[in-house]
Each structure stands twice: as C-alpha cells, then as structure tokens.
Amino acid sequence: MIWHCAEFEFDTRMPTVMGILNVTPDSFSDGGDHADFAVAVERALAMVKEGARIIDVGGESTRPGSAEVSIDEELARTVRVVSELAAHGVCVSIDTRHAAVARACVEAGASIINDVSGFRDPAMVEVARGCSAGLVVMHMQGEPKTMQDNPVYDDVVEDVKRYLRDRAAELEAQGIAHERICIDPGPGFGKTPKQTNELLLNMHQFARLGYPLMVAVSRKSHIGALYGIENPKDRDEVSAKQALEAVELGASVVRTHNVALTCEALKDLRPYCFLGLGSNVALVGEAGEEREAKIAVLNEVIGNLAVLPDSQLIDVSSFYESEPAYFEDQDPFVNAVALIRTGIGPHDLLAYAHAIENRFGRTRTVKNGPRTCDVDILDYQCYRCDDERLTLPHPLLTERDFVVKPLLELRPGHVLANGTAVSEQTVEVGHAVKLDQHF
C-alpha cells in the first residue's frame, strides 16, 4: 500500500518516521525549544539526517487543557518554516485543526495535513478536496481544553475504530482518494492512560481498516502514568519501544520527538509473514461434528504458532469454510490466515510449519488431498525465492478464494513481496464463506 502525499509516496510495508517540530512556546514537552525560525529549521534538517522522512510542523499546542490560539498567530509561527523546509525538498506535514492554516501551509509547500480534530470542520474538508496533500485523520474525544476531563467509551477500541472508519469513508465520499488517507487512533487525546494502552495493544484492529496507520505516542502522559516517568523528555526510550511494538502490530507511520532513538529501535523490527491454515479431516467419530473438529485443529495449530521462537502472533482471520480445490472429491475445508512477525528465516520457518503439520498427523499421499492440517507460507516480507523447497510468494495464492478472503480481512489492499496486489478479482478456485466462529 502506498500513502500518496502530493509529490511524495510512502510504502507502508516499511515504517516511515515523522519528526515532530513544535514551533510553539507552550507544547507539553518542548515548548519554546524551536520557536525561533533559524533554530526550527536547523532542528528539522537535523531530524531528516537522523532518519525522518516527514517533518510535522505544529503552531498550536493541543496538549490537554490548552487554549486555542488565533489564526494569525498560528500562521506567523508556521508558514515561513513550512516554506523553508519545502524549499529544501523536505516532505512537510502541517499539524493544525484550522482550515485557514492548512490552506496557507499547503500553498507554502506542505504535503500533508495532520488534523487532530479528524477533519470534522467542513472547511477543512474543502481544503483537502482542493489539494493533493496526504491527510492524517485522528480521533479525539472532545476538544483539547476539556478532552481529559472524563473520557468515557463503551469499548474504546471499537468506538475509535468505528469513528476512524466512518470519517475516512466520508472523506472518500467527498472525492478524496483512499490512497491519501492515514488514520491515527489519537493516544492521549480524550483517553485515560488505561484506554490509551488498550488502543496500543490492539493496533492490529486499526490496520484491518486498510489505511496507513500512525502511531503517535511520543512522550505522552500515559507513559508517565504507566511507568512513573514524570519528565516528558525522559520518556523517549519507552516511546521508541512502544513505537516498535505498534509497528509490529501494523502501524506504518511513526510520529516522534526523538528521531535518532526511534530509528535505532526500529532496526529490531521483524519481518511480517502470512501463513495459510487449512483442515478437512475431522478427528471425531460422530456425524455433524466435523466442522467444529476442524476448527478445533486450527485453533491448536494457531496455539503452536503463538509459541514459535523469536516470533509474535499478530492477528488471525475469521474461519472460512471452502470448497475443495484441484482435487475436488473430498470434504469441505475450514481455512484461516495468520499474520506473524518473526525472526525465523523463510526456509527454517517452513521446517517449523512441517513439524506442526506432522504433529497433527498430516499425510501427503494424495496431491492437494485430505489433510488434518495444512500450514502454508503465503508471503514473507520483502522476500522472494523459487527453489526446490520453497517458492515465495506462494505461486497459487492469488487464485485461491480461501486464501484471498481471509488475507484481505487482515490487510485490505495487501501487496505481495513480488509487487502483486492481492484482489478478489483474480480468484478462480476454492469458493469460501466466512463462518461465525473466530479464534
């Protein structure tokens, strides 16, 4: 998936670091540090050298309890800095909730509009429609001045996910391309530390929406509350660690104050891998229990994946019942796709997959025939091979309905390591229907 931001493009299969440049006197952790024009430009260019591919310029503090500044003051703080950085070839984001500021900064060269109010203002939507800038749609309950008074949710993950899905859909209905939109769950914006932590533990749920996903936890108060770190500038190490964890769960844009430390942490990012799971041999004696037995086998297989060394089980699709493909004279299958992050190389991972299959009595006497369980490596990040043991991406992936549907459930618009986009338009075999049961 590519995030289109005016003339800049960012491949979301690898994380993009966005450096924070607050040109304000009162931001919560660095207010006044970069209020001087020359100091601000120098700091921005230093962050670019450290690894930032985007610089996010903010002229109004939106810390909890902050008061709104005048449009003229925000313009005076931001436009000149944006123009100078754009002249240096930097991809500049303007962090604002005011349409007039967004418009002026886009005209000055900004390629991204980062709106903490989620483009609720129709005037801001009009600015977005009139340009080609990338958009960051953030969730915030209430307004900065009052957002932390008493944030309440029925289910914080589902409520925020629904909001972001609906706001993005409304922008698309206004003619804004899907590829321009990035979403941000807004940690710390109208959320308690516990609610923010719950969002971070469930970032994979937001990745399922099919948009580039931002993680913006840098120096925020939940880190102070959860780890007892009072000084915001002392929260950088935890911020970088949480950013890495969020990227492993599906975030693709990292907004940070400390670019160098964050880039160093992201070096530990493990490749993602999609695994196809299937079963059509029921290990039960009574008729009518076959489907549940197949699901039980897959649940045990998923449990085995969860304990692979140097790996993390990120997400599992719904279960799907599918028609047999290729060798059709056999029982229906139950299928799913699992997403992991792993430090195990592809060929060694294949050996682990075969060991799991063998543990469940997999037989290979009939090609594409009945099996208690099947574990296929479908796509391994940035890796292509074709040898006697393994072909990646899986050569039949895109024609199999029982693989395409669950994979797209996890990552809509996914592009394989060989550049092929996964789409239901290429499906030819194995018609699949989603079941009510989940892992």
Residues annotated as part of the active site: 220, 255
For 93, the token pair is 């984001």
Q: How many CA atoms lie within 13 A of 277 on its CB side?
A: 30
Among 48, 42, 39, 105, which residue's Cα sits nearest to residue 78?
Answer: 105
For 344, the token pair is 């195990």
Among 376, 379, 290, 272, which residue's Cα sits nearest to residue 325?
Answer: 376
Residue 225 has a CB neighbour count (10 Å cut-off) of 15
Residue 326 has a CB neighbour count (10 Å cut-off) of 11
Alpha-carbon distances, residue 22 vs 77, 95, 145, 261, 394 (angstroms): 9, 9, 18, 18, 46
Length, in residues, of the chain: 439
Q: Can you tell me the distance from the alpha carbon of 279 to that of 365, in angstroms, rounded to the nearest whole number?
A: 16
Residue located via tokens 């799991």: 356
3-state secondary structure of 235: helix
Question: Cα 349 to chain center, whole Å?
Answer: 24
Crossing angle for the helix pair 71-87 and 99-108, to the nearest 10 degrees: 20
Q: Can you tell me the distance from the alpha carbon of 182 to that of 97, in angstroms, rounded to the nearest whole number?
A: 16
User: What is the DSSP code string of 116-172?
Assistant: TTTT-SHHHHHHHHTS--EEEEE--SS-TTTTTS----SSHHHHHHHHHHHHHHHHH
Q: Can you tell me the distance from the alpha carbon of 319 to that of 252, in angstroms, rounded to the nearest whole number?
A: 27
Residue located via tokens 């899907």: 178
